[in-house]
Amino acid sequence: MSEFWNSITSVQPDPSSRLVIGTGVVALLLIAWRPIWQYTRQVVTIAHEGAHGLIAALVGRKLSGIRLHSDTSGVTVSRGRPTGAGMIAVLLAGYPGPALFGLAAAFVLSRGYAVALLWGLLVALLILLLQIRNLYGLWSVLVFGALVFGVSWWGSPSVQSTFAHLLTWFLLLAAPRAVLELQHSRRRGQGRSSDADQLRRLTGVPALLWVGVFGLVTLGCLAVGVVWSGVLPG
Which tens digit of pLDDT belongs to each residue from 152-180? Answer: 999 999 999 999 999 999 999 999 999 99
Q: Given pLDDT bands bounded at 50, 70 and 90, which one contains residue 36?
A: very high
- pLDDT value at 68 more than 70: yes
> Which pLDDT belongs to residue 191?
67
Is 67:132 a contact under the CB 8 Å cutoff? yes
Asked whether the beta carbons of 125 and 23 are under 8 A apart, the reply is: no
Q: Which helix (H) or strand (E) holds 75?
A: strand 74-79
CA dihedral 25, 26, 32, 38 (to 10 degrees): -160
Span 98-141, pLDDT tens digits = 999 999 999 999 999 999 999 999 999 999 999 999 999 999 99
Above 60 in pLDDT, residue 234? Answer: no
Mean pLDDT of 44-67: 96
Residue 193 has what pLDDT? 86
Buried b (16+ CB within 10 A) or exposed e, 202-230: eeeeebeebbebbbebbeebbebbbebbe
Q: CA-CA distance, 114 to 73, in Å (whole number)?
A: 29
pLDDT given for residue 233 in this prediction: 59
User: Greatest CA span in the chain, whole angstroms?
Assistant: 57
- Whether residue 204 is predicted with pLDDT greater than 60 in this model: the reply is yes
**15: which residues sit within 8 A by CB, 6+ positions away?**
161, 162, 165
Q: Report yes or no on whether pTM surpasses 0.85.
A: yes
Cα–Cα–Cα angle for 110, 115, 119, nearest 5°? 120
pLDDT at position 84 over 60: yes
Mean pLDDT over all residues of the chain?
94
